[in-house]
Amino acid sequence: MKEKLIDLFEYTYHFNIEMIKVISENRGLVDDKTINLINHTLNAQQIWNARILGEKTFEVWQINPFESLVETNHKNFLKSIDIINNFDVDTKIEYQNSRGAKFENTIFEMLFHAVNHSTYHRGQINSLLNQKGITPVLTDYIFYKR
Protein backbone atom coordinates (compact mmCIF):
# COMPACT_ATOMS: atom_id res chain seq x y z
CA MET A 1 0.00 0.00 0.00
CA LYS A 2 2.85 2.39 0.75
CA GLU A 3 4.17 2.05 -2.81
CA LYS A 4 0.76 3.04 -4.19
CA LEU A 5 0.57 6.07 -1.91
CA ILE A 6 4.04 7.13 -3.03
CA ASP A 7 2.92 6.77 -6.65
CA LEU A 8 -0.11 8.96 -5.98
CA PHE A 9 2.04 11.65 -4.39
CA GLU A 10 4.48 11.51 -7.32
CA TYR A 11 1.46 12.04 -9.61
CA THR A 12 0.22 14.92 -7.44
CA TYR A 13 3.68 16.51 -7.34
CA HIS A 14 4.09 16.22 -11.11
CA PHE A 15 0.78 17.83 -12.00
CA ASN A 16 1.08 20.55 -9.37
CA ILE A 17 4.32 21.53 -11.11
CA GLU A 18 2.57 21.52 -14.49
CA MET A 19 -0.26 23.69 -13.13
CA ILE A 20 2.15 26.19 -11.59
CA LYS A 21 4.03 26.32 -14.91
CA VAL A 22 0.91 27.01 -16.99
CA ILE A 23 -0.30 29.65 -14.53
CA SER A 24 3.15 31.26 -14.55
CA GLU A 25 3.25 31.35 -18.36
CA ASN A 26 -0.18 33.00 -18.42
CA ARG A 27 -0.03 35.31 -15.38
CA GLY A 28 -1.50 38.19 -17.36
CA LEU A 29 -4.60 36.15 -18.22
CA VAL A 30 -5.35 34.23 -15.04
CA ASP A 31 -7.64 35.69 -12.41
CA ASP A 32 -7.36 35.87 -8.64
CA LYS A 33 -9.56 32.79 -8.23
CA THR A 34 -6.99 30.70 -10.11
CA ILE A 35 -4.18 32.03 -7.91
CA ASN A 36 -6.29 31.39 -4.80
CA LEU A 37 -6.98 27.79 -5.87
CA ILE A 38 -3.39 26.84 -6.63
CA ASN A 39 -2.36 28.28 -3.26
CA HIS A 40 -5.20 26.47 -1.51
CA THR A 41 -4.23 23.20 -3.21
CA LEU A 42 -0.67 23.42 -1.92
CA ASN A 43 -1.71 24.77 1.47
CA ALA A 44 -4.04 21.83 2.02
CA GLN A 45 -1.29 19.27 1.47
CA GLN A 46 0.96 21.19 3.87
CA ILE A 47 -1.87 21.27 6.43
CA TRP A 48 -2.49 17.52 6.27
CA ASN A 49 1.22 16.78 6.55
CA ALA A 50 1.50 19.16 9.50
CA ARG A 51 -1.49 17.61 11.25
CA ILE A 52 0.14 14.19 11.01
CA LEU A 53 3.49 15.52 12.22
CA GLY A 54 2.10 17.85 14.89
CA GLU A 55 3.60 20.90 13.20
CA LYS A 56 2.30 24.43 12.60
CA THR A 57 -0.02 24.61 9.62
CA PHE A 58 -0.56 27.13 6.87
CA GLU A 59 -3.87 28.94 6.76
CA VAL A 60 -6.32 27.20 4.43
CA TRP A 61 -6.66 30.16 2.04
CA GLN A 62 -3.38 31.99 2.65
CA ILE A 63 -1.79 33.46 -0.44
CA ASN A 64 1.90 32.72 -0.73
CA PRO A 65 4.34 34.55 -3.00
CA PHE A 66 3.90 33.00 -6.43
CA GLU A 67 7.65 32.48 -6.69
CA SER A 68 7.52 30.19 -3.63
CA LEU A 69 4.93 27.75 -5.00
CA VAL A 70 7.38 25.37 -6.70
CA GLU A 71 9.40 25.15 -3.49
CA THR A 72 6.26 24.67 -1.37
CA ASN A 73 5.13 21.87 -3.67
CA HIS A 74 8.54 20.22 -3.37
CA LYS A 75 8.58 20.48 0.44
CA ASN A 76 5.05 19.09 0.61
CA PHE A 77 6.07 16.15 -1.58
CA LEU A 78 9.15 15.34 0.50
CA LYS A 79 7.19 15.49 3.77
CA SER A 80 4.40 13.31 2.42
CA ILE A 81 6.91 10.71 1.23
CA ASP A 82 8.73 10.88 4.56
CA ILE A 83 5.45 10.26 6.40
CA ILE A 84 4.65 7.28 4.17
CA ASN A 85 8.09 5.78 4.65
CA ASN A 86 8.38 6.34 8.40
CA PHE A 87 4.88 5.94 9.83
CA ASP A 88 2.35 3.16 10.06
CA VAL A 89 -0.35 4.50 7.75
CA ASP A 90 -3.02 2.69 9.80
CA THR A 91 -2.20 4.82 12.85
CA LYS A 92 -5.04 7.10 13.93
CA ILE A 93 -4.24 10.77 14.46
CA GLU A 94 -6.33 13.23 16.44
CA TYR A 95 -6.40 16.74 14.99
CA GLN A 96 -8.45 19.90 14.78
CA ASN A 97 -9.75 21.31 11.52
CA SER A 98 -9.42 24.98 10.63
CA ARG A 99 -12.62 25.76 12.57
CA GLY A 100 -11.37 24.03 15.71
CA ALA A 101 -13.56 20.90 15.47
CA LYS A 102 -11.78 17.74 16.64
CA PHE A 103 -11.54 14.63 14.47
CA GLU A 104 -9.60 11.38 14.25
CA ASN A 105 -8.53 9.63 11.06
CA THR A 106 -5.82 7.22 9.98
CA ILE A 107 -2.72 8.57 8.31
CA PHE A 108 -3.76 6.70 5.16
CA GLU A 109 -7.14 8.46 5.13
CA MET A 110 -5.53 11.84 5.67
CA LEU A 111 -2.95 11.33 2.94
CA PHE A 112 -5.45 9.90 0.48
CA HIS A 113 -7.68 12.89 1.14
CA ALA A 114 -4.76 15.24 0.37
CA VAL A 115 -4.25 13.56 -3.02
CA ASN A 116 -7.96 13.53 -3.84
CA HIS A 117 -8.38 17.14 -2.71
CA SER A 118 -5.58 18.34 -4.98
CA THR A 119 -7.04 16.45 -7.95
CA TYR A 120 -10.39 18.14 -7.36
CA HIS A 121 -8.89 21.63 -7.26
CA ARG A 122 -6.67 21.06 -10.30
CA GLY A 123 -9.91 20.28 -12.16
CA GLN A 124 -11.35 23.60 -10.99
CA ILE A 125 -8.19 25.40 -12.08
CA ASN A 126 -8.38 23.74 -15.50
CA SER A 127 -11.94 24.98 -15.88
CA LEU A 128 -10.84 28.53 -15.05
CA LEU A 129 -7.91 28.28 -17.47
CA ASN A 130 -10.24 27.09 -20.22
CA GLN A 131 -12.56 30.04 -19.59
CA LYS A 132 -9.61 32.37 -20.22
CA GLY A 133 -8.69 30.61 -23.47
CA ILE A 134 -5.71 28.81 -21.94
CA THR A 135 -5.27 25.16 -22.89
CA PRO A 136 -5.98 23.06 -19.77
CA VAL A 137 -3.41 20.60 -18.48
CA LEU A 138 -4.41 16.97 -19.02
CA THR A 139 -4.08 15.86 -15.41
CA ASP A 140 -5.87 12.52 -15.42
CA TYR A 141 -3.92 9.84 -13.58
CA ILE A 142 -4.03 7.52 -16.60
CA PHE A 143 -2.26 10.16 -18.73
CA TYR A 144 0.45 10.34 -16.08
CA LYS A 145 0.93 6.57 -16.24
CA ARG A 146 1.08 6.35 -20.04
Domain ranges in the chain are 2-55+69-84+92-145
Confidence grade of residue 66 (pLDDT, cut at 50, 70, 90):
very high
pTM for this entry: 0.95
CA distance 91 to 105: 8
CA distance 9 to 117: 12
Please write the tens of the pLDDT for every residue from 69-112: 999 999 999 999 999 999 999 999 999 998 999 999 999 999 99
Q: Top-level CATH class of 2-55+69-84+92-145?
A: mainly alpha
Quick one: pLDDT at residue 10? 98
